[in-house]
Structure 1
Amino acid sequence: MNPFDGPGSPRAGEAEDGADSRGPWTRFSAWLECVCVVTFDLELGQAIELVYPQDVKLTEKEKTSICYLSFPDSYSGCLGDTQFSFRLRQSVGRRASRSRDDVYNREAPVTLQSETSHFFGYVYFRQVKDVSVKRGYFQKSLVLVSRLPYTHLFHSLLQIIAPEFFEKLEPCLEAVCNEIDQWPSPEPGLTVNLPVMGVVLQVRIPSKSDKPGGSPVRQTAKENLLPAPTLLPTIHELDLFRCFQSVLVHLQMLWELTLLGEPLVVMAPSPTVSSETVLALIGSISPLKFCCDFRPYFTIHDSEFREYTTRTQAPPSVVLGVTNPFFIKTFQNWPHIVRLAEVRMAGDLPKQVKVKKLSKLKTLDTKPGIYTAYKTFLHKDKILIKRLLKGIQRKRPSEAQSAILRRHLLELTQSFIIPLERYMASLMPLQRSVTPWKTPPQIRPFSQDEFMATLEHAGPQLTSLLKGDWMGLYRKFFRSPNFDGWYRHRHKEMTQKLESLHLEVICDADLLGWTKDKSEVEIVDLILKLREKLVRARRQQLQVKDGVLDKLDVFITSIIGSLPEDLQTVLNAP
């Protein structure tokens, strides 16, 4: 058996298309796709006034979506300044700089990877009375469009630049974009200093090697910066306690619905509450990646509106944040609807919404509540709820309450995922079964029944005190897009690990000895297969021991040199 008959081959047409590092806006585009200014035109309605950099190509469909998603709808009544987020589908055929994204995504946590088919929009909207305008109001949004889910960083950035922009307009925006084009690229694991408008933001880019929930060692810059940097404690995390304060007693249910990728609508009084609640739900299952679609702020003008509201088929696995009461009628056939209002206090405590029957959703003035027939698999964590409610009475800061919540959700998700990780690791062939003269052994298929049998001795009960039907939860999880996404990601990692091990044992084998009694045809076949493995290894940037790829390159060169000249010419042809 030839040693290089490994599975897979380079995908056709997948040549490296990395951005030229000297090109204009290269550093800017590592952080942002573009900056848009959306205004209200009496004749056109919402319209894009400005896109920067000016050579950024947005399709008409993308521009229309950005226009509608950048303004709160009239039901929100947002006066003054409002910040919120949205997410929109990119037009078909758009290509990112894949090589740069691949480098970042390989080291970033899965929950913070750069999007390949969606954009995030981070909005700073201002609506103030202005008698010089026909409608009597100044209405404008500054929007940062990015592939990165850096919610906290980009909203902090908007708080610095938007107020100044609304005073000085375009020249200010051009200066800011030029400053961003000087920023270092976001490299997971590094602390970076990001100067903008006389302020230096210092933030650490999380890495997949960080311990989940741990506080990474803060790496301060060596130079003495003037002005002293403003330290952002996180690049993406939200104030979870503020997002969940009126649904604390139902946190277990919301976590399960998100984990299982159930269709869920959040109806909120404003785009801010809508987008923060949706993003908090998506983040509640971290470090597991939410693999379904989600829209922090969704409007009836969205290009996917029909797709998501059709009654001819079951609702899709998507979490939608909306503010328009019209949606109550539209989403009557959806199984889970969270209706929020502005938080009201009952004495010292925020009033908790109740779980209600879906049949009560019929009127436009629907009261706050969680409208669902869902029954949780796991019991509520009453100790957590008491601890949080006691924290409110004792005036515990929101940051501390959020830290308690985040720790609880992390431990809950880890208790659920660790048995799956442990079982998945057992499907990996033993290292000693990887030999240079055979195709790498296959990863064993995932058997749900076999996994279930491991739960009695190595299930979530080892790390979680929560009681309930864990096995029922796993069975339902196996049918969700989140399981499919997790499994594909882990299987890909394991396949690449096998490929790396195979390359390493090939490198340690006596390759020259193997060729001595082989025909030219067999030797040429070996060279071609080995080259293919090297191309794939470099494209996927496989983690192999130092020197392995170089050693195999040297071997190829020396073997080609021992062949007749006509074959050398063919094999050395570019």
Structure 2
Amino acid sequence: MGQGCAALPSHGGDGGTRPWEATSRVHGPWSSHRAGARGPGPGCDPQWKQPDCCCRVLIPASSSCRVGAHSSTSFSWSPRSHRGPKDPAYYYGYVYFRQVRDKTLKRGYFQKSLVLISKLPYIHLFHTVLRHIAPEYFVKNEPFLEAVCSDVDHWPPPVPGKTLNLPIMGIIMKEDTQISIALPTVHEVDLFRCFCPVFFHIQMLWELVLLGEPVVVMAPSPSESSDTVLALVSCISPLKYCSDFRPYFTIHDSEFKEYTTRTQAPPTVILGVTNPFFAKTLQHWPHIVRIGEIKLPGEVPKQVKVKKLKNLKTLDSKPGVYTSYKPYLNRDEEIIKQLQKGVQQKRPAEAQSVILRRYFLELTQSFIIPLERYVASLMPLQKSISPWKSPPQLRQFSQEDFMKTLEKAGPQLTSGLKGDWIGLYRHFLKSPNFNGWFRTRRKEMTQKLEALQLEALCNEKHTEVETVDLVLKLKNKLVCNYSKYR
């Protein structure tokens, strides 16, 4: 058993390093006793000093990946960076797993994983890279991987709105960074394919993700697990999903005990699992999505009711959503009919996914626009900005004041959906997604106020003493900001 890992674009802008640069060049073939790491990045993190754990995680536990004389699969994985309390971020791991029967080996088959580690969620791009380089790597080994890293070192940094030409081992790949950088979530998965097994519950799943509820996705393979988790996270775009999500979670992950304990409520995490063991250990989680084999249906999917959690005993249970959650909004029958009609007319899966993504986008925008409108009203009037005083403070967010605005300026202006919108907003205001969104908006508005105050200050006439005093104050402010964001 062995694994080859290439950490191609781990960081962006550290010490002049290009975002694409191969910061941890090559983690050479890993065995249970050896790990090679060179340079900064993952090689310096405690997670990456535990090759035993990583090797077990990156060889799929699902039996569906071990069928036939020759099989390959791709999936996404999310190891924690473990860089300290100030950096709770996760890396993205893109895995290409190869298994081939070999009677000369003790186990009867050869298996190996090539892993690309990045802090950038360019899922389609990096899986394409792996599909191109992995087959040749399994033949040529580490020297070939060194050549790949050399190509990646010369990739230009991603620029919003620009299509990049990325050369790698004799081919040119094109990556459009406009969507990838402009939107908080860039998980370019096939939405319709992922949601097909739970076709009639897409709106309820949108609510669960919006509210940051703990969700487990149980799937037969790592690729189906990771694709479904990433599809869930992306369905509330352009709102950023601010909780944790683990596309492929195993019993070897460091948070295993934390997530399986019954002594406390499950954390706000979306987990993707394949090991049948989790059907029992995660049975106390409030929302479980059971995915069967993901296939593009040739017939209209059958409607399946939401199931009770007590009916989920094994990973072999029937596909469906197991929860006691009652949606706040009435189900949108129009989108269901539109997608069903597409299946009957054999509409391409890509077109179905476009329809579904547009639906989620419009639903999220209808929900978030009233919040945007209310938060904008917390901004002080420009006439209250004085060049000789500190910038005025934003008014406090009042839940009740916001609720009063919904009667005349609520989501009903842009959405025809009926239901308990007020209840949905009250629940959302307690969620991590609201906290993350509001922190970002408050920071943006505070920076706007500071810029307006600085502009007013610069437009005033100053005496020499006032100018010196102004320079000293600006210097102190810059020092404070530098210390704050170090």
- Normalized against structure 1, the TM-score is what? 0.76
CA distance in 2, matches of 1:133, 1:50: 24
Where do 1:139-288 residues align within 5 Å? 139-206=111-178, 236-288=187-239
Hey, what's the Cα distance between the residues in 2 that align with 1:181 and 1:28? 9
The 5-angstrom pairing of residues 333-344 of structure 1 reads: 333-343=284-294
Contact 1:82 / 1:272 at 8 angstroms: preserved in 2? yes
Query: 8 Å contact 2:75–2:226 — kept in the other structure?
Result: yes
Q: Deviations over 1:251-287 (max 9, x none)?
A: 0100000000001100000000100000000000000
Q: Verify the 8 A CA contact 2:306 2:320 in the aligned structure 1.
A: yes
Give the distance between the partners of 2:180 and 2:274, measured in 1 at CA. 35
Identity %, equivalent residues: 59
Distance 2:235 2:315 in 1: 30
Confirm whether residue 72 of structure 1 aligns to residue 60 of structure 2: yes
- Structure 2 residue 247 is matched with structure 1 residue 311: no
Number of the residue aligned with 2:103: 131
Partner Cα separation in structure 2 for residue 334 and residue 417 of structure 1: 28
Q: How many residues align?
A: 469
Structure 2's unaligned 5+ residue stretches are 1-11
Residue from 28, 47, 58 that aligns with 1:61: 47
Distance change in 2, residues 1:326/1:167 (3 Å): same
Residue 167 of structure 1 aligns to which amino acid in structure 2? V
Shift of 1:68: 2.8
Shift in Å, 1:305: 0.5
Q: Which runs of 5+ in 1 are unaligned?
A: 1-16, 96-114, 214-233, 516-522, 542-574
Contact 2:196 2:296 in 1 (8 A): no
1:82 aligns with 2:33: no
1:329 counterpart (264, 272, 280): 280
Which residue number corresponds to residue 5 of structure 2?
none
**1:359 aligned residue:** 310
Is the 8 Å Cα contact of residues 288 and 486 (structure 1) preserved in structure 2? yes
Residues 343, 20 of structure 1: CA spacing in aligned structure 2 closer, same or farther, 3 A cutoff? closer
Q: 1:67 to 1:363 in 2, by over 3 A?
A: closer
What is the CA distance between 1:138 and its match in structure 2? 1.1
User: Distance between the aligned counterparts of 2:231 and 2:19, measured in 1?
Assistant: 28
Give how far 1:208 is off: 8.9
Other-structure match for 2:3: none
- For the Cα contact (< 8 Å) 2:155–2:166, is it kept in 1? yes
The separation in 2 between residues aligned to 1:334 and 1:451, in whole angstroms, is 32
Determine the structure 2 residue equivalent to 1:425.
376
Decide whether the 8 Å contact of 1:31 with 1:146 is kept in 2: no
Q: How far apart are 1:75 and its partner, in Å?
A: 3.2
Deviations 1:531-574 (A, max 9, x none): 22355689999xxxxxxxxxxxxxxxxxxxxxxxxxxxxxxxxx
Structure 1 residues 264-321: Cα deviation after superposition (integer angstroms, max 9, x where no partner): 1000000001000000000000000110011000001110001111111111100000
What do residues 158-193 of structure 1 show as CA deviations (whole Å, max 9, x unaligned)?
A: 111111111211111010000000110122232211
Answer yes or no: is 1:474 the counterpart of 2:418: no
Indicate how the Cα distance of structure 1 residues 166 and 347 shifts in structure 2: closer, same or farther if over 3 A, else same: closer
Letter in 1 for 2:92: F
1:117 aligned partner, one-letter code: A
Q: 2:456 aligns to what?
A: 505
Q: Which residue of 2 aligns with 1:531?
A: 475
**Structure 1 residue 201 displacement after superposition:** 0.7
Residues 48 and 75 of structure 1, relative CA distance in 2, 3 Å threshold: farther
Task: Name the CA shift for 1:437/1:330 in 2 (closer, same or farther; >3 Å).
Answer: same
Q: CA deviation at 1:524?
A: 6.2
Taking the aligned partners of 1:55 and 1:333, their CA distance within structure 2 comes to: 36
Other structure's SS at 2:217 match: strand
Distance in 1 (CA, whole Å) between partners of 2:34 and 2:299 is: 45
Highest CA radius of gyration, 1 or 2?
A: 1
Query: CA 1:537/1:20 → structure 2, altered by over 3 Å: closer, same or farther?
Result: closer
Decide whether the 8 Å contact of 1:37 with 1:48 is kept in 2.
Answer: no
Letter paired with 1:134: K
CA distance in 1, matches of 2:421, 2:55: 44
Alignment-derived partner of residue 444 in structure 1:
395
Normalising by the residue count of structure 2, what TM-score does the alignment of the two structures yield? 0.89
Counterparts of 1:369 and 1:376, CA distance in 2: 16
SS at match of 1:466: coil
Secondary structure of 2:65 counterpart: coil
For 1:503 and 1:386, locate their aligned partners in 2 and report how far apart those are by CA, in whole Å. 55
* Structure 1 residue 438 displacement after superposition: 1.0
Matched residue SS, 2:280: helix
CA contact (8 A) 1:124 1:158 kept: yes
Name 1:27's counterpart in structure 2.
18
Tell me, yes or no, if the aligned pair for 1:38 and 1:67 is still in contact at 8 Å: no
User: Does the 8 Å CA contact 1:85/1:275 hold for their aligned counterparts?
Assistant: yes
Residues 38 and 367 of structure 1, relative CA distance in 2, 3 Å threshold: farther
Which structure is richer in relative contact order (CA contacts within 8 A, separation 6 or more)? 1
For the 8 Å contact 2:187–2:230, the answer to whether it is kept is no
Q: Which amino acid aligns with 2:64?
A: S
Deviations 1:338-378 (A, max 9, x none): 11111479871244543111111234642222110001001
Match of residue 495 from structure 1: 446
Cα separation, partners in 2 of 1:320 and 1:56, compared to 1, 3 Å: closer
Aligned residue for 1:468, secondary structure, equals: coil
Q: CA deviation at 1:88?
A: 1.6
Q: Distance in 1 between matches of 2:180 and 2:130?
A: 27
Q: Which moved more, 1:175-184 or 1:58-67?
A: 58-67
Output the CA distance in 2 between the equivalents of 1:352 and 1:35.
48
**Which residue in the other structure is 1:569 paired with?**
none
Q: 2:327 aligns with which of 376, 379, 384?
A: 376
Cα distance in 2, alignment partners of residues 344 and 313 from structure 1: 37
**Closer, same or farther: CA 270–410 of 1 in aligned 2, 3 Å:** same
| Counterpart contact for 2:20–2:156, Cα < 8 Å | no
- Map Cα deviations across residues 425-469 of structure 1 (whole Å, 9 max, x no partner): 100111121110111100001001000000011110111111111
Q: CA separation of 1:408/1:52 partners in 2, compared to 1, >3 Å: closer, same or farther?
A: farther
Tell me how far apart the structure 1 counterparts of residues 418 and 186 of structure 2 sit (CA, whole Å): 34
Moved more, 429-438 or 59-68: 59-68
In 2, are the aligned partners of 1:76 and 1:271 still within 8 Å (CA)? no
